[in-house]
């Protein structure tokens, strides 16, 4: 249940920013049909990578949800890192370390600064993966 809530919190936060941005950035969500922009404009891909759920009390009332959120900035291949790097900087500000997102009585915390991995080069696109660790605890 809580992986679904965590996903919804992170996706809603990204969607609000991406929709308000000029120009707006389309987002490809996991397991949802998506057609990349015809104009070779940049777009985003978002992935929730849950880790093992844990419990840290003897009564079994505590549950700890941990994992990684990855957002990939996809740009046209062969144009360098400039545009993707600028978008990555904006996303890094959007998800600062120790930020909390809450829905009802459930809160998820960003537990690491945004990290950038090496770009993944395709035939027509280049993807710049960004990621951070998260944690949510229930009692």
pLDDT digits (tens, 9 = 90+) for 100-136: 999 999 999 999 999 999 999 999 999 999 999 999 9
pLDDT score, position 129: 98
- Which stretches in the chain have pLDDT values below 70? 1
- What are the domain boundaries of the chain? 2-138
Residue 85 backbone phi and psi in degrees, to 5: -65, -40
Q: CB under 8 Å to 73, separation ≥6 — which residues?
A: 42, 44, 84, 87, 88, 91, 127, 128, 130
The answer to whether the bond into 23 is cis (omega within 30° of 0) is yes
pLDDT score, position 1: 59
CATH number, domain 2-138, options 3.40.50.1000, 3.30.1300.10, 3.30.2000.20, 3.50.50.60 = 3.30.2000.20
């Amino acid at each position: 249940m809580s992986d679904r809530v965590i996903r919804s919190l992170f996706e809603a936060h990204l969607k609000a920013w991406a929709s308000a941005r000029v120009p707006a950035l389309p987002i490809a969500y996991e397991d949802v049909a998506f057609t990349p922009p015809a104009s070779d404009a940049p777009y985003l891909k978002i992935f929730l990578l849950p880790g093992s759920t844990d419990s840290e009390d003897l009564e079994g009332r505590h549950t700890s949800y941990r994992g990684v959120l990855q957002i990939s900035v996809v740009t046209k291949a062969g144009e360098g890192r400039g545009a993707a790097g600028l978008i990555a900087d904006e996303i890094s500000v959007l998800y600062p370390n120790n930020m909390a997102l809450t829905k009802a009585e459930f809160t998820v915390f960003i537990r690491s600064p945004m990290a950038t991995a090496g770009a993944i080069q395709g035939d027509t696109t280049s993807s710049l993966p960004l990621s951070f660790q998260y944690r949510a605890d229930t009692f």
